[in-house]
């Protein structure tokens, strides 16, 4: 099988450590596949690009760095300040990448097995293959059909040919710009509003979300069968650290936290420590919030 598997990440310079973990786990668990990796950013430093190539050079893998203007999403980033501009870069995929399909992955993941079963899914006329994001009930606000299911955009097998022919990119960006008061998760809400249920479900193991380990998850949500849930908990293919607490935080208690630290040893960040135990972070945490605000205003 000589066909290249197209993978897309969208990051900034602050996330290269985590991309490195995602990348090495993907490549090391899929040595029988040929990869073309697209990394979309507003411009990575040469040092960070070299680190990515240090990893990819060990495998049968081509890396393409795509730089976009950081000014493209200023208005959206201002309306949703808790989300970095990099959140929106995935919306540019149809404009930047000339492929029939791509697998988009967030960078806060670890690939724990073969992605063949995911990548070679028959997408048909669906816009994406993805997994459900449980608990969604805002169909009316997002102008979605009541029976439409809301998906998580952190892992999407994208039917890029159909996205382009139907102008999905512009429709999603327009929706986000014109409905900012109902947007909770910027790109994800926009994508769901426009795709409106026209997507294909794949097993939960291909995007294991942190929420499935929360107390009484099975009682609160019935979107996954007991068998699918058990498989995702025990043998996930893609571990997606979806909560605010990440494995690089000292107090994180994710059952698969160790996987992150196992793979980081295979990257240029092998000597990394917990980000919230670094001296600068600890110093910031000791400064009262009101004083930090005053300092920020002064610097501006």
Q: How many CB atoms lie within 10 A of CB 206?
A: 24
Q: Which of 30-34, 106-110, 269-273 has the lowest mean pLDDT?
A: 269-273
Enumerate domains of the chain plus CATH numbers.
4-299 (3.90.550.10)
Q: How many CB atoms lie within 10 A of CB 232?
A: 23
Give tens-digit pLDDT for 274-286.
Answer: 865 654 444 454 4
The mean per-residue pLDDT over the stretch 125-152 comes to 96
Q: Which of 35-39, 89-93, 263-267 has the lowest mean pLDDT?
A: 89-93
The pTM (predicted TM-score) of the whole model is 0.88
- Check residue 82 and give its pLDDT: 46
Evaluate whether 94 touches 163 at the Cβ level (below 8 Å). yes
- Check residue 19 and give its pLDDT: 97
- Check residue 286 and give its pLDDT: 46
Q: Tell whether the model's pLDDT for residue 75 goes beyond 70.
A: no
φ/ψ (deg, to 5) at 57: -65, -15
């Amino acid at each position: 099988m000589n066909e290249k598997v197209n993978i897309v990440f969208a990051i900034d310079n602050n996330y290269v450590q985590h991309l490195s973990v995602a990348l090495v786990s993907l490549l090391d668990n899929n040595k029988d596949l040929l990869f073309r990796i697209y990394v979309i950013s507003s411009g990575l430093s040469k040092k960070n690009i070299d680190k990515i190539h240090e990893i990819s050079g060990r495998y049968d893998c081509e890396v393409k760095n795509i730089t976009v203007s950081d000014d493209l999403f200023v208005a959206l980033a201002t309306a949703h300040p808790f989300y970095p501009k990099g959140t929106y870069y995935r919306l540019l995929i149809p404009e930047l990448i000339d492929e029939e399909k791509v697998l988009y992955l967030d960078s806060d993941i670890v690939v724990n097995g073969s992605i063949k079963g995911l990548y070679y899914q028959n997408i048909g006329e669906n816009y994406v293959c993805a997994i459900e994001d449980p608990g969604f009930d805002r169909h009316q606000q997002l102008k979605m059909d009541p029976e439409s299911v809301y998906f998580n955009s952190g892992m999407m097998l994208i039917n890029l040919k159909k996205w382009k022919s139907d102008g999905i990119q512009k429709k999603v960006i327009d929706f986000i710009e014109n409905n900012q008061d109902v947007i909770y998760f910027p790109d994800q809400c926009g994508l769901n509003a426009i795709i409106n249920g026209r997507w294909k479900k794949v097993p939960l193991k291909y995007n294991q979300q942190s929420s499935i380990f929360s107390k009484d998850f099975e009682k609160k949500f019935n979107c996954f069968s007991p068998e699918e849930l058990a498989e995702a908990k025990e043998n996930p293919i893609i571990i997606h650290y979806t909560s605010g607490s990440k494995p690089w935080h000292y107090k994180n208690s994710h059952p698969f936290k160790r996987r992150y630290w196992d793979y980081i040893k295979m990257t240029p960040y092998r000597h990394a420590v917990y980000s919230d135990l670094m001296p600068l972070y600890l110093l910031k945490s000791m400064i009262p919030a009101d004083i930090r605000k005053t300092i920020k205003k002064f610097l501006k």
